[in-house]
Amino acid sequence: MVGAYSRENVRVSRAGLNKEPDDVSRMFDGVAKRYDLLNDLLSLGRTKAWRKVVTAIIAPAPGMEILDIAAGTGSSSRPLADGGAKVIPLDFSIGMLDAGRKRHPDLAFTQGDALALPFEKERFDVTTISFGLRNTQNTKAALAEALRVTKAGGRIVICEFSQPTNRIFRHIYLRYLMRALPPIARRLSSNPDAYIYLAESIIAWPNQEGLAALMREAGWQRVTWQNLTFGIVAIHMGYAQK
């Protein structure tokens, strides 16, 4: 599967918006070492601030077990573990997992598919996914699978790029993604196509209400969201009531 090829000095084409799993995995393998920089470009430098809000909402504590889906290199998992929770960072990309294990050797990085999680039902107090849900091939199926492994009364916390609520700011941000980001990516990365794919995936992603509707259809209850930075990002929350 992924990882049967060298990831050193290889230029990986971007994944298509049909989000074939192997294409997405190979793309992330190719950008794993600079993934945090990539997120900073997409977020206008706000990634760390957004992660702090996610951590505060989850409120990790000893005795809590959390599944961090599409955890990448573990940037979202680290503060949850530091809060005392038992965290399992899960990702489909071997390249991301390799980079994560080097940075956070104490975390139990696990390879897995968001559409077929390798865990028993109703195991976790919280499932969370930051900036990864839009890269799954089937959003509704990924949400249903997260529900399966979440305890009754447990929560999901999703941090994902969304649609800025201010019309003028939305226009400026979308122009940045598609006009300013590609030349920046070409200067900083050997695989600028990956950055362009991620920008396109943001533009194609549902708005806040659209994602909330998908969560309800997948079975999540009491769905709410909180906008950050004028809606560039939204944190969606829901409860497992089974």
**Side-chain-facing half-sphere of 171: CA atoms under 13 Å:** 2
Per-residue pLDDT at 202 exceeds 50: yes
In percent, the amount of the chain with pLDDT more than 90 equals 57
Decide if 11 is inside a domain.
Answer: no
- In this prediction, residue 82 carries a pLDDT of 98
Are residues 12 and 194 in contact, defined by beta-carbon separation less than 8 angstroms?
A: yes
Domain region containing 228: 21-239
Output the six-digit token pair for 119: 């865990």
Decide if 192 is inside a domain.
Answer: yes
Dump the DSSP string for 46-87. -HHHHHHHHHHHH---TT-EEEEET-TTTTTHHHHHHTT-EE
Regarding pTM above 0.85, the answer is: no
How many residues are given for the chain? 242
Query: What's the CATH number where 131 sits?
Result: 3.40.50.150
Decide if 69 is inside a domain.
Answer: yes
